[in-house]
């Protein structure tokens, strides 16, 4: 039976609650985000709290973490309470689409759902986490833009095709694509995920890079190891 938790160097993710588990691409997203040093961060669909905890490890910013699933939100609350940063992260059982706040955010982060209804399984919590009927691209973009400060950043991760769609919608709404990272499982393979930063304001020049997770022999690449060394136990 697999472990119901994932141990990082400075915190533990208990993921016994139904829903999305810790994934390699999620960890890459958390490590790649150019976090703000202070101010306010909004984590949309926090799940068990992975991204919020990764950012709390390296920033003093206040983090509001939203989770639509009550059971999973409770798990996130416990993970935060048992971490070194219980006063920095506030977990809210809340649907982003109906979220009301006077807070203006310097950064919004999201590992959004992208599967269509035809791929739904039996797990309600997992369906909510990965299917886009719970949070459409259009809803994510429009509300994020309203909540972002001038020059605030929105970080998201999608498969390549979905990221192209998202970027077109975001650009139409006035967000600027600042940087993209194309994630490959192994060199020579196809793009596995794309991580992008959008800015609610002006940019100098959009940039892109590639990141490969594993070498041909199955071991981690140096670039992956450097990126995750502050988090993974055995790096």
Q: Taking the domains of the chain in order of start, what are their residue ranges? A: 5-228
Residue 119: per-residue pLDDT: 54
How do residues 78-111 score in pLDDT, each as one tens digit?
Answer: 999 999 999 999 999 999 999 999 999 999 999 9
Q: Show Cβ contacts of residue 214 under 8 Å, excluding neighbours closer than 6 positions.
A: 185, 186, 220, 221, 224
Contact criterion met (CB below 8 Å) for 5 and 78: no
Q: Is 136 exposed, middle or buried (0-12, 13-18, 19+ CB in 10 A)?
A: middle
How do residues 191-228 score in pLDDT, each as one tens digit?
Answer: 999 999 999 999 999 999 999 999 999 999 999 999 99
Compute the distance between CA of residue 196 and CA of residue 209 in angstroms, rounded to an integer. 10
Q: Closest by alpha carbon to 28, among 199, 201, 191, 203?
A: 191
Backbone angles phi, psi at 14, to 5 degrees: -80, 120
Contact criterion met (CB below 8 Å) for 101 and 90: no
62, HSE (Cβ side, Cα atoms, 13 Å): 8
Compute the average pLDDT of residues 110-139.
Answer: 61
Question: 5-228 maps to which CATH number?
Answer: 3.40.50.150
Q: At residue 116, does pLDDT exceed 80?
A: no
The C-alpha angle 151, 27, 19, rounded to 5 degrees, equals 105
Full-model pTM:
0.91
């Amino acid at each position: 039976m697999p472990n119901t938790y994932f141990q990082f160097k400075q915190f533990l993710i208990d993921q016994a609650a139904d829903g999305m588990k810790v994934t390699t691409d999620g960890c890459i997203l958390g490590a790649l985000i150019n976090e703000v040093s202070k101010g306010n961060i909004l984590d949309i669909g926090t799940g068990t709290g992975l991204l919020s905890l990764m950012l709390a490890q390296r920033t003093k910013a206040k983090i509001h973490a939203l989770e639509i699933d009550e059971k999973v939100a409770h798990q996130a609350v416990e993970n935060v309470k048992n971490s070194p940063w219980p006063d920095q992260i506030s977990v809210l059982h809340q649907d982003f689409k109906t979220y009301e706040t006077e807070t203006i955010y310097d950064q919004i982060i999201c590992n959004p759902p992208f599967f269509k209804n035809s791929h739904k399984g039996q797990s309600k919590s997992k369906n909510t986490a990965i299917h886009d009927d719970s949070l459409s691209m259009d809803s994510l973009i429009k509300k994020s833009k309203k909540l972002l400060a001038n020059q605030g950043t929105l970080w998201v991760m999608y498969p390549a095709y979905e990221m192209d769609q998202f970027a077109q919608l975001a650009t139409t709404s006035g967000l600027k694509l600042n940087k993209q990272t194309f994630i490959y499982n192994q060199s020579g393979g196809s793009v596995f995920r794309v991580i992008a930063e959008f800015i609610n304001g002006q940019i100098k020049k959009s940039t892109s890079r590639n990141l490969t997770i594993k070498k041909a022999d199955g071991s981690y690449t140096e670039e992956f190891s450097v990126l995750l060394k502050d988090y993974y136990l055995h790096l």
